[in-house]
Amino acid sequence: MNNLFPVFLKIEHLQTLVVGGGNVGLEKANALLSNAPGAPITLVAPEIRAELVTLAEQHPNFSLIYDSYAPDYLENSDLVIVATNDKAVNAQVQTDCKNRRILVNVADTPDLCDFYLSSVVKKGDLKIAISTNGKSPTFAKRFREILEEILPDSLQDTLNNLQSIRNRLKGDFQEKVERLNEITKIMKP
Ligand SMILES: C[C@@]1(CC(=O)O)c2cc3[nH]c(cc4nc(cc5[nH]c(cc(n2)[C@H]1CCC(=O)O)[C@@](C)(CC(=O)O)[C@@H]5CCC(=O)O)C(CC(=O)O)=C4CCC(=O)O)c(CCC(=O)O)c3CC(=O)O
Ligand SMILES: NC(=O)C1=CN([C@@H]2O[C@H](COP(=O)(O)OP(=O)(O)OC[C@H]3O[C@@H](n4cnc5c(N)ncnc54)[C@H](O)[C@@H]3O)[C@@H](O)[C@H]2O)C=CC1
């Protein structure tokens, strides 16, 4: 069964906590910040990779705390991503999050995740999130590369044009829908 429900989160409006500052913590912080460079994110870990320090220097809202996880760090967190190399700590953070109704992702344990990160294709305002339902993140990565290659940069012009047409269109909702569907019929395979 594939029951995942995709959404696009405005993480600038949320407070995100990353627990763990190794390779995986770096990957996840990069995934968050490459989509939303201004998002408020805190990373806590006793040891933090040098690349994360550089990332924090480039992103004023990304802060690093050199400490072991403690439940107090969940205070004010909306979203938590756990990536320590200690399975017991990961499980404890997940339990603490569940008790507080905070959404949590545990990087190496799909069963403990409320949500998965996806592979992200970005062409200007077009964003496509790819999931394989956890089956093969590597497939998701390769498929992202294929889509990045085949989607033209001119897509942004198309989106800009459609937005100005959308803003100019008069009439009620139904008329607008019909007109926009008419204009974009050319895209149908
Ligand atoms: C379930 C999920 C939960 C989550 O992490 O959110 C998950 C789980 C696991 N990943 C593992 C390994 C790898 N993950 C990647 C890469 C990515 N993983 C991502 C997402 C997800 N990974 C979620 C499912 C997404 C989906 O539905 O497809 C991406 C898309 C997004 C991101 O992480 O930002 C990002 C690609 C970004 C990009 O480049 O576009 C690579 C490849 C590489 O790095 O080159 C490898 C090594 C090769 C391999 O094992 O396949 C392991 C085994 C760990 C171990 O063996 O210890 C588990 C645990 C398990 O499956 O049990
Ligand atoms: N995409 C995925 O889901 C993948 C998951 N993994 C798994 O994820 C885990 C982490 O991998 P790496 O980042 O490579 O490990 P790493 O050894 O590079 O980093 C571990 C980090 O966890 C921190 N940490 C340890 N105890 C902590 C505590 N009590 N509180 C807060 N932080 C703590 C350490 O200080 C360090 O920053 C491993 O168990 C690995 O098997 C590995 C590869 C891919």
Residue 171 in domain: yes
Taking the centre of ligand 1 as the mean of its atom positions, its distance from the CA of residue 156, in whole angstroms, is 29
* For ligand 2, atom 35: residue with the closest CA: 47
Residue 6 domain flag: no
Report which of 94, 21, 11, 115 is spatially closest to residue 63, judged by C-alpha positions. Answer: 21
Which mutation among 3, 81, 108, 149 tests ligand 1's pocket best, with the greatest number of atoms within 8 A of CB? 108
Domain total of the chain: 3
Q: What is the pLDDT of residue 52?
A: 98
**Domain limits for position 177:** 155-187
CA distances to 8, 20, 55, 71, 92 from 77, rounded to whole Å, are 18, 15, 20, 11, 16
Residue 121 has pLDDT above 90, yes or no: yes
Same domain? 142 vs 176: no
Answer yes or no: do 104 and 129 share one domain. no
Q: Does 143 score more than 90 pLDDT?
A: yes
CA end-to-end span of the chain: 28
Both 15 and 96 in one domain: the answer is yes
Look at residue 172 and tell me whether its pLDDT is greater than 90.
Answer: no
Last residue of a domain, one of 68, 96, 117: 117
Give yes or no: residues 16 and 108 share one domain. Answer: yes
Tens-place pLDDT, residues 55-88 = 999 999 999 999 999 999 999 999 999 999 999 9
Banded pLDDT at 132 (limits 50, 70, 90): very high
Q: Are residues 65 and 99 in the same domain?
A: yes
Distance 137 CA to ligand 1 centre (A): 4
